[in-house]
Structure 1
Amino acid sequence: MDNRLLLYFTTLIDQGTFTNAAKKLHISQPSLSSAIKKLEENVGLTLIERNTRKISLTIEGEILYKEAKKLLNHFEQVHKEMTRLKKEGPLELKIGLIESVKFWLPKVIASYREVNPDVNIKLREVLGLKQVEIALQNYKIHLAITNQLFENDEIDTVPIYKENLVALLPKGHHLESAPTISIHDIKDDELIICQEGFQTRQDILNAFRKSGASPNIHFEIERFETACSLVEEGLGITIVPENYIKSNTQSAFSMKIISDANLSRTVYIACMKNRYLPPVIIQFIEETKKFFEQ
């Protein structure tokens, strides 16, 4: 399939009219119309409804448009990467992060930089499911370190470690001296929890559901940092990854294992399937896996 025809087709849909699309592509309207007809002949399908004044796609046209945008984007990124490699070499690594990686990621990066001292590393927080998917699909990041469970066949995940989820209670809480607690012990406390779209929220709600308890949700947050601050002010309790608070020794809250819930989460490296990954990306993935194997 001719990339040029796909470009003409997607530009027509994006621009909305043959006039605007032809202008954008710097070709004549008859040439654009001819190209669209040729594309339809090539695929053997009608792609555009021609009985309306407005550009409208058939069902087949919608499918081709969606896939063509992916193909063209991928082709453009590979072309850019090849051009950059010729001039500069493989010098960039873009990583999407969740908050709890702070306890180990600097160690991995330090080890990685010993072998790749010239790589420019860009770290970006990507927390919710949709945020991770969009960042990967749109080439904003090469890979994501995430606990999200994907139902997207285009994304590949490699589990790297498992971490416990623990409850944080404000100082002076009536369970402060308890060695462990249960879900039922905290079901009436004001709960600070992640927003919709976060896997940790789903894990916590599932634990309450299995225990036959209903959570008393009072705050919905995006970052664990915010949740911890609210707990320190005595505004409720929260449940966070144990690794997130490992380095926090001066906090005004107490950490408790939830003994009856088996609350934990798996952290993955996620990247797009069937996409070119420069050697520096593959090296980082291998360095991360080696860190946890050791």
Structure 2
Amino acid sequence: MDIRHLHYFITLAEQTTFTQAAFVLHISQPSLSATIKKLENELGLILLDRSSREIRLTREGEILYHEAKKLVDHFGYVWEEMRRVKEQGPPELSVGLIESTKHWIPKILSRFKMEYKDVRIKLMDVLSLEDVEKALSNFEIHLAITNQYTDSEEIEMIPIYEEKLIALLPEDHLLKDHAYLTVRDLEGEALIICKEGFQTRTDTLNTFRTAEIRPNIQFEIERFEMACRLVEEGLGITVLPENYVKYSIKPNFLMKPIEDSNLSRTVYLAFDKNRYLPPLVLDFISLVKEFFDHRARPLT
């Protein structure tokens, strides 16, 4: 059963003559007549009472008219909704995030919501490289804000800012009076570090390796929040992004820059370059880029 044929039948029922219905549909009368006859043959039912000049529906025709009307109207709604989605984007924005975005992403969302008041926003944790690639490939998110770099041909990576990694120490640590630390100062310390697959882990271990220091890994964690709590309990030290810890509310740990290293990380916007991105997603990307372009310095 062709939706176009149902549309022809509904028009005929509402116009009551083949001549008028054909005029409204911009087709010839013989073509309309042939279409209706084909529909009747497909259904094995007589839909029209042709005994009078004006078309009247049979009982079966009445049933088809009411059900077809609902179906065609819904089809029109779905079609219009898809057109709107293509032009304006879906009423939802899904963004994958790393933990350190929590201090600036609300500012972006506040600006975004001024223009897209009715858009529902989903924020998901995508911490490891595997998380990022999986969420993008499965269409779970429109884009990710991540420090995980990938050279995948399918994923576009746009750098938005760079930040230093700093050391976190318990408040009563022997190095508490040092204004800054060296990598050598961390030798032998119980190290709290991200698990395999996290860029922060890779950067930290590369720094130890360059200094020819064997790290004393005691805890492997997934979330920075847990690393901070372990440091507060005096269970070791950790190395985390400066922008994650500098805004912590009354932290019970010490933050120390590491002066003799290039410990830093780049944060990226990542999205599937082969996927259609609706306007609202592109507008969100522009807001993020604009936010950091205006700073011309690391996030503060």
1:28-70 CA distances to partner (integer Å, 9 max, x unpaired)?
Answer: xxxxxxxxxxxxxxxxxxxxxxxxxxxxxxxxxxxxxxxxxxx
TM-score, normalisation: structure 1: 0.70
The TM-score normalised by the length of structure 2 is 0.69
CA distance in 1, matches of 2:188, 2:200: 20
Gaps of 5+ in 1: 1-78
The alignment covers a number of residue pairs equal to 215
Q: CA deviation at 1:200?
A: 0.7
Unaligned runs of 5+ in 2: 1-78, 295-300
Name 1:242's counterpart in structure 2. 242
Shift of 1:123: 0.2
8 Å CA contact retained: 1:127, 1:198: yes
Indicate how the Cα distance of structure 1 residues 89 and 156 shifts in structure 2: closer, same or farther if over 3 A, else same: closer
1:58 aligns to what?
none
Letter in 2 for 1:159: P
Following superposition, the deviation at residue 87 of structure 1 comes to 12
**Structure 2 equivalent of residue 260 of structure 1:** 260
Q: Which residue does 2:158 correspond to in 1?
A: 158
- 2:100 is matched with 100
The residue that corresponds to 2:291 in the other structure is: 291
Alpha-carbon separation, structure 2, partners of 1:109 and 1:200: 26
The one-letter amino acid paired with 1:251 is: P
Cα distance in 1 between the residues matched to 2:153 and 2:274: 11
- Deviation (angstroms), 1:141: 0.4
List per-residue Cα deviations over 1:130-175 (Å, max 9, x = no partner): 1110000000000000000103211111000001100000011011
CA distance in 2, matches of 1:85, 1:109: 20
User: Which residue of 2 is the match for residue 191 of structure 1?
Assistant: 191
Q: Please tell me whether the aligned partners of residues 181 and 257 of structure 2 are also in contact (alpha carbons under 8 angstroms).
A: yes
Partner residue, 2:122: 122
Q: Do the aligned partners of 1:103 and 1:246 also contact (CA within 8 Å) in 2? A: no
Q: Is the 8 A contact 1:127 1:146 kept in 2?
A: yes
Q: Distance in 2 between matches of 1:95 and 1:88?
A: 17
Q: Give 3-state SS (helix, strand or coil) of 1:207's partner.
A: helix
Q: Secondary structure at the match of 1:203?
A: helix
Asked if the contact 1:182/1:258 (under 8 Å) is kept, the reply is yes
Which of the two has higher C-alpha Rg?
2
210-219 vs 87-96, which moves further: 87-96
In structure 2, do the counterparts of structure 1 residues 86 and 248 end up closer, same or farther at CA, with 3 Å as the change threshold?
closer
2:165–2:263 contact (8 Å) kept in structure 1: yes
> Could you give the per-residue CA deviations for residues 85-107 of structure 1, whole angstroms, max 9, x where no partner exists?
28996311000000000111000
Partners of 1:157 and 1:292 lie apart in 2 by: 15
- Output the aligned Cα RMSD: 1.8
- Matched residues in 1 for 2:292 and 2:164: separation? 16
Contact 1:90 1:279 in 2 (8 A): no
- Output the CA distance in 2 between the equivalents of 1:242 and 1:248: 10
Asked if the contact 1:98–1:126 (Cα under 8 Å) also holds between the matched residues in 2, the reply is yes
Question: Deviation digits for residues 178-237 of structure 1, max 9, x if unmatched?
Answer: 000011101110000000000110010111111111111000000000000000000000
- In structure 2, what is the Cα distance between the partners aligned to 1:244 and 1:174? 24
- Residue in structure 1 matched with residue 110 of structure 2 by the alignment: 110
Residue 47 of structure 1 aligns with which residue?
none
For 1:200 and 1:232, the matched residues in 2 are separated by: 20
Tell me, in whole angstroms, the C-alpha distance in 1 between the residues paired with 2:86 and 2:279: 14
Cα distance in 2 for residues equivalent to 1:177 and 1:140: 47
Rounded to whole Å, the distance in 1 between the matches of 2:147 and 2:125 is: 13
Q: How does 1:41-80 map to 2 (within 5 A)?
A: none
Q: Specify the alignment match of 2:90 in structure 1.
A: 90
